[in-house]
Amino acid sequence: QLQLQESGPGLVKPSETLSLTCTVSGGSISSSSFYWGWIRRPPGKGLEWIANIYYSGSTSYNPSLKSPVTISVDTSRNQFSLKLTSVTAADTAVYYCARFSRAYSYGFDYWGQGSLVTVSS
């Protein structure tokens, strides 16, 4: 059974960099059928897609995001990562990593449990 697990600091100071890693187990991140993505849910708000990455390193980003974002992949560790720089309180959210089916459902079919990140001094 595929599992995804987010890891990273739960508290980040304003203007600093938020870094999260998603570890995939029970399957290969190098599958040609999937993208790997990050989604967040700020408190009291809805879901917001952040970015997707393919195992080859091809990326797509939400053009509406205000904080600069970088998504990367490490196929040797079966992990992908997210960095948001110059964060503000508006980046406080539960961050989810998920698998996106690019060849079948065009939806996120497996999700991590979520990681709460608070931006505060």
Partner 1 sequence: DIQMTQSPSTLSASVRDRITITCRASQSISNWLAWYQQKPGKAPKLLIYKASSLESGVPSRFSGSGSGTEFTLTISSLQPDDFATYYCQYYYNYLVAFGHGTKVEIK
| Paired strand residues for 75 | none
* Candidate list 2, 11, 47, 90; residue touching partner 1; CB under 8 A: 47
Nearer to partner 1, 85 or 106 (CB): 106
d(Cα 17, Cα 15) in Å, to the nearest integer? 7
Binding segment toward partner 1, per CB under 8 A, in 7-15, 25-33, 69-77, 100-108: 100-108
* Candidate list 84, 108, 117, 119; residue touching partner 1; CB under 8 A: 108
Burial state string for 53-69 with b = 16 or more CB within 10 A and e = fewer than 16:
bbbeeeeebeeeeebeb
By the rule CB under 8 A, 10 interacts with partner 1: no
| 34 touches 2 (CB < 8 A) | no
| 52 touches 35 (CB < 8 A) | yes
Nearer to partner 1, 44 or 76 (CB): 44
By the rule CB under 8 A, 38 interacts with partner 1: no
By the rule CB under 8 A, 105 interacts with partner 1: yes
By the rule CB under 8 A, 114 interacts with partner 1: yes
By the rule CB under 8 A, 106 interacts with partner 1: yes
**Structure-block tokens of residue 83:** 């960095």
